[in-house]
Amino acid sequence: MNTATEPIHLMNNYARWPISLVKGQGNQVWDDQGKQYLDFTSGIAVTSLGHVPPKVTAKLHQQLDTLWHCSNLFHIPQQAVLSEKLSKLSGLDSAFFCNSGAEANEALIKIARRYAQKVKGTGRFEIITFSQSFHGRTLATLTATGQDKVKDGFAPLPTGFVTVPYNDLAAVEAAITDNTCGIMLELVQGEGGVHPAEEAWVQGLRKLCDEHGLLLLVDEIQTGIGRTGTWFAFQQYGVKPDAISLAKGLGSGFPIGAIVATSEVAQAFAPGTHGTTFGGNPLAMTAGIATLETMEEEHILERVGQIEKQLLAGLHKLQADHPTKVVAVRGKGLLVGVELAIPSADVISFAREQSVILLSAGPNVLRLLPSFITTQAEIDQVISVIDKALTQ
Ligand SMILES: *Cc1c(COP(=O)(O)O)cnc(C)c1O
């Protein structure tokens, strides 16, 4: 294995593995020593169609030769196409495009406040969020995040967020005040341990929002774009949010973020109220359009369902074979958590030696995020590696 270290002129804010990846194709990646790995993380829920997916790559090549950047002083035709697609798929009405997940959640928070204050004419600003959530690393989004580790050393934090336990309706009800303008949540908490929301709870949240005039804001940055087996996770809960945020899987690896809201909420972003230089640029829009087109043409949601079944079959066998070490298997679609009685880091480093890249979600949970083109053979390879790691 190569022993890559952090370059001395680079900030040391990532605890990196001693590997430099230089090439990817499908579910395989290669390091600078020529060693090949199976990527069972999809670059953390990003490369859902595999690395360098051919159709998206071809469209990006065309766009690279045509126009890279265009400011939002002009109409950008690809924004019309992608927003229409997202609207059709989500049942929501209007999109705003930005460049990352945190930036999408910033927009979600800003539109919720502005809707309360300028459209509804109230003084409301507070957003209820949840323990173990993850919403990003900007000041507002790390404040919304229900994990102390991301807040350490960044005081003073913005006000206007209150964090309550997940899957607990009474706690939410008790936290609603005259200042509350919205409730913001992930439907499967990804980073925080792969915890799915309960259906009755989410329906209860929708009801509370309707009764109290609050917005239901769903962070679909990790769960969206097919990851949980439907285009968006909320479609499995029988509720319609007022607005959602998207990023990770939307561009197949090209940086992109978005929010999509009802037309009612979208009124809050009038000209001049919010914006970004790069957001919605022709390259990112092309990546987003090509990603969604490919997923539609290749009936990718059906494949997600099939791969999920194959993966769960393997994991349940693993659980039966290692009943004391595999505590739980949970998640939705291809966002799967395997809770272990041993440190997840031990399994991850063993797997890496066996040329399989896995991810954690906390100290005892493996987070499996295979691509939507994963084969039975690749699943077998991963199950066998985890089996060996647990047998040691
Ligand atoms: C990754 C993630 C974010 C942050 O996205 P960035 O692009 O890293 O800023 C926010 N929310 C959820 C649920 C995420 O998984």
Domain boundaries, the chain: 21-53+300-391, 67-297
Ligand 1 atom closest to the Cα of residue 190 is: 15
Q: Which fold has domain 67-297?
A: Aspartate Aminotransferase; domain 2 (3.40.640)
Ligand 1 atom closest to the Cα of residue 133 is: 13
Tell which one of 13, 109, 221 to mutate to probe ligand 1, the residue whose CB is within 8 A of the most ligand atoms.
221
* 21-53+300-391 is classed CATH 3.40.30.10: no
- Residues 256-279: tens digit of each pLDDT: 999 999 999 999 999 999 999 999
- Between the CA of 221 and the centroid of ligand 1 the distance, in Å, is 6
Q: Cβ–Cβ contacts within 10 Å for residue 156, how many? A: 7
Q: Phi and psi for 272 in degrees, rounded to 5?
A: 90, -5
Ligand 1 atom closest to the Cα of residue 137 is: 9
Signed CA dihedral, 269, 184, 105, 138: sign only = positive
- Residues 81-138: tens digit of each pLDDT: 999 999 999 999 999 999 999 999 999 999 999 999 999 999 999 999 999 999 999 9
> Do 67-297 and 21-53+300-391 fall under one CATH topology?
no
Q: For residues 85 and 88, what is the distance between their CA atoms, to the nearest angstrom?
A: 5
How is residue 254 written in tokens?
Answer: 């090209």
Q: For residue 372, is pLDDT > 60?
A: yes
What is the CB-side half-sphere exposure of residue 388 using CA atoms within 13 A? 13
**In angstroms, what CA-CA distances link 245 with 75, 122, 175, 184?**
22, 24, 23, 10
What average pLDDT does this structure show over 243-260?
A: 98
In this prediction, residue 1 carries a pLDDT of 47
